[in-house]
Amino acid sequence: MFKIVTKKVLSEVNKLMEIEAPLVARKAQPGQFIMLRVSETGERIPLTIADSDKKRGTVTIIFQEIGKTTRELGTKEAGGYLNDFVGPLGKPMEMPSSGRVIAVGGGVGIAPLYPKVKAFQKAGLEVISIIGAKTASLLMLIDEMCLASKELHVCTDDGTKGYKGFVTDLLQSFLDDKTKKIDEIIAIGPIPMMTFVANQTRPYGIKTMVSLNPIMVDGTGMCGCCRVTVGGEIKFSCIDGPVFDGHRVDFKELARRSRTYLDKEKIALDKFEHECKCGGEELWHLAMSK
C-alpha cells in the first residue's frame, strides 16, 4: 500500500498528490511515468511523474478527473492509501546538450512538462515556456514553471488570463523571430495540440519532441496496447517512449486508437457516479434515522 502524503486541489478537475514511494522516487527521471491502481479491483492507469523527492521518498502526480478511475482517485484524501504504485517506467527523456528550448504545455500536459523544464534549466539550457488552457481556472503550476524558465508565456482560449488564444499562436511568434535560434521544442498536451505543433514546426526543421499517453494496460511492453507508429515502425509507448520525435509520429492513428473505448469509458463513469450518488443518499438517510 502506498500512502498519500499530500493532496492539493489545483482546479475544479485537476488534483495533485504526493505519494510515499521511496523506491520509485530514488530512480525517477524526467520523462518517466508510473502505473497505479486505486484499489485491488481497479484498473491500472499511467500517470507522468510530475516531480520526485529522493530525500523524502515521495513522488508527485497530477491528474485530471475525466474518467472513472481518475474520479475515484480524486476521492482519496491525504492519509489514505493506493493499492499499487509501480515505476519508474519508460525511458528518461534525452537532454539537449546546449542551446535554447521552447517548452509548450496544454491543459493537463503542463504537469508532465514541468519536470522536463526543470531538467533543462538544471542542464544550463535557455528555456522559454508557453503554457495554456481553455480558461484560467484550468491553468496549473504557473509559479513553478516561472521559476524553472527564463521566460514564461501564459495564454487561455477565452482570454481570462494572459494572451487570448492558443499556445500555437504564441509559438508561431517565436518561429517567425529570426533573431532567436531555437534548438529544440517539446510539446505536451492533447493530441490535436501536439499534432498542430509538429506540423507547425516541420517546415522550420526544428527538432520537436512530444510525450504520448496512449491507452495502456501493463506498462511493461507485454500487452502491446500502447503501440504507436513512429517513422513507419511500431513502437510501444511504455518501453520505447513515452517521448518521441513529433515529426515521425502517426497522430491520425494515435487519435483513432485513443477513441477505441470511449463508449465503455462512459458506461464505467456513469456507473461510478450513480454508485456515488446512491451511496451518498444512503449515508444521508442513515444519519437522519439516528
Domain boundary among 44, 71, 89: 89
Domain boundary among 62, 89, 116: 89
Domain of residue 242: give its range.
Answer: 212-259
C-alpha cell at 36: 497505479
Same domain assignment for residues 110 and 180: yes
Query: Is the model's pLDDT at 286 over the cut of 60?
Result: no
| Terminal Cα-to-Cα distance of the chain (whole angstroms) | 34
- What percentage of the chain exceeds 70 in pLDDT? 96
- Name the burial class of residue 248, with classes exposed (0-12), middle (13-18) and buried (19+) by CB atoms within 10 angstroms of its CB: middle
**Average pLDDT in the 251-261 region?**
87
Q: pLDDT tens for residues 190-210?
A: 999 999 999 999 999 999 999
For residue 102, report the phi and psi dihedrals to the nearest 5 degrees.
-105, 125
Structure pTM? 0.84
Same domain assignment for residues 7 and 102: no
**Average pLDDT in the 219-230 region?**
88
Q: pLDDT tens for residues 101-122?
A: 999 999 888 988 998 999 899 8
Same domain assignment for residues 158 and 240: no
Query: Is the model's pLDDT at 87 over the cut of 80?
Result: yes
Same domain assignment for residues 248 and 266: no
Write the CB contacts of 23 (distance below 8 Å, at least 6 apart in sequence). none
C-alpha cell at 150: 527564463
Q: How many separate domains does the chain show?
A: 4
**Average pLDDT in the 219-247 region?**
91
Same domain assignment for residues 60 and 129: no
For residue 64, report the phi and psi dihedrals to the nearest 5 degrees.
-110, 130
Which CATH number characterizes residue 227's domain? 2.10.240
Beta strands in 23-121 (DSSP E): 33-37, 45-48, 51-53, 58-64, 81-82, 84-89, 100-106
Predicted pLDDT of residue 287: 43
Which CATH number characterizes residue 151's domain? 3.40.50.80
Same domain assignment for residues 113 and 175: yes
Which CATH number characterizes residue 21's domain? 2.40.30.10
3-state helix, strand, coil in the chain (%, to 5): 35, 30, 35
